[in-house]
């Protein structure tokens, strides 16, 4: 079996009992960054062999993982934070595993996800929303923001600390967007968790004058039109 195990996005206590049990009883843990995962495993006193699997893993690593599954091993896949496969490695591996072993059971262990956590505290309509992942850094970035301007429903996307202010500026420049309500969720579940709420123009100004606003990890939630 291949277990897809969601892990905390900051607060190490945000983990399910089932996730802990599964990591304890798996034969191996597949991790994006073994050092990050080791911190979590140490907290829950899980001593288990960790195999690295990340976006640059070569095909022979995937073949090795498939061989382990073929020989009946149970594997638990985790990423650095949140739900594996949601904007981090996992999907490609799952696809390859299912191609090679169509009967392999791939089992989700639901848990934290930064996009859903931010959406859940936004107060914006969420019966229908669009998740866009990260805006491209350069090529395609303009198109990404143009598309945002055309979407009716609530929008959720990720942005890095290097481009969060640029993203707000790009949003504000879209016609009619300066007055749209936005939630910028910074460092969710962590010590310096900050939730900025207001219009795009207001939040841009507020974050410009907050010296910590460029630090950490961000989710942007834009209210539906």
Distance in angstroms (rounded) separating the CA atoms of residues 66 and 212: 44
Q: Is 63 helix (H, G, I), strand (E, B) or coil?
A: helix
Q: Answer yes or no whether residue 41 interacts with ligand SAM by CB under 6 A.
A: no
Nearer to ligand SAM, 189 or 224 (CB): 189
Site for ligand SAM in 169-208 (CB under 6 A): 185, 187-190
CB of 67 to ligand SAM, least distance (A): 26
- The H or E element spanning position 124 is none
Residue 217 phi/psi, 5-degree rounding, is -120, 145
Residues 90-149 contacting ligand SAM, CB under 6 A: 113-115
CA 103 to chain centre: 28
Question: Which range binds ligand SAM by CB under 6 A, 19-27, 39-47, 62-70, 83-91?
Answer: 83-91
The Cα–Cα gap between 163 and 192 comes to 19
> In this chain, which of 7, 87, 154, 213 binds ligand SAM, going by CB under 6 A?
87
Nearer to ligand SAM, 100 or 126 (CB): 126
219 scored as a contact of ligand SAM (CB under 6 A): yes
Give, as ranges, the residues between 18 and 37 that touch ligand SAM (CB under 6 A): none
16 binds ligand SAM (CB under 6 A): no
Cα–Cα distance measured from residue 170 to residue 72, given in angstroms and rounded to the nearest whole number: 50
218 near ligand SAM, rule: CB under 6 A: yes
β-pairing, 129-131 vs 106-109, is unpaired
- Which residue minimizes CB distance to ligand SAM? 82
Residues that bind ligand SAM (CB under 6 A): 9-10, 79, 81-83, 86-88, 113-115, 158, 160, 185, 187-190, 217-219
């Amino acid at each position: 079996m291949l277990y897809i195990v969601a892990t905390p996005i900051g607060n190490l206590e945000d983990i399910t009992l089932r996730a802990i049990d599964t990591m304890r009883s798996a034969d191996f843990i597949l991790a994006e960054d073994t050092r990050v995962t080791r911190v979590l495993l140490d907290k829950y006193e899980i001593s288990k062999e960790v195999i690295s699997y990340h976006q640059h893993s070569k095909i022979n690593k995937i073949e090795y993982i498939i061989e382990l599954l073929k020989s009946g091993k149970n594997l638990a896949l985790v990423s650095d934070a949140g739900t594996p496969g949601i904007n981090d490695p996992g999907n490609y591996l799952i696809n390859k595993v299912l191609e090679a072993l169509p009967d392999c059971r791939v089992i989700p262990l639901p848990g934290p996800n930064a996009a859903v956590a931010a959406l859940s505290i936004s107060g914006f309509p969420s019966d229908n929303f669009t998740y866009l992942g990260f805006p491209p850094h350069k090529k395609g970035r303009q198109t990404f923001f143009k598309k945002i301007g055309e979407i009716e429903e609530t929008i959720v996307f990720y942005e890095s600390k290097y481009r969060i202010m640029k993203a707000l500026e790009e949003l504000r420049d879209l016609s009619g967007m300066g007055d749209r309500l936005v939630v910028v969720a910074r460092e969710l579940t962590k010590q310096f968790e900050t939730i900025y709420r207001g219009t795009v123009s207001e939040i841009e100004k507020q974050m410009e004058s907050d010296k910590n606003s460029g630090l950490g990890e961000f989710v942007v939630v834009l209210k539906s039109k």
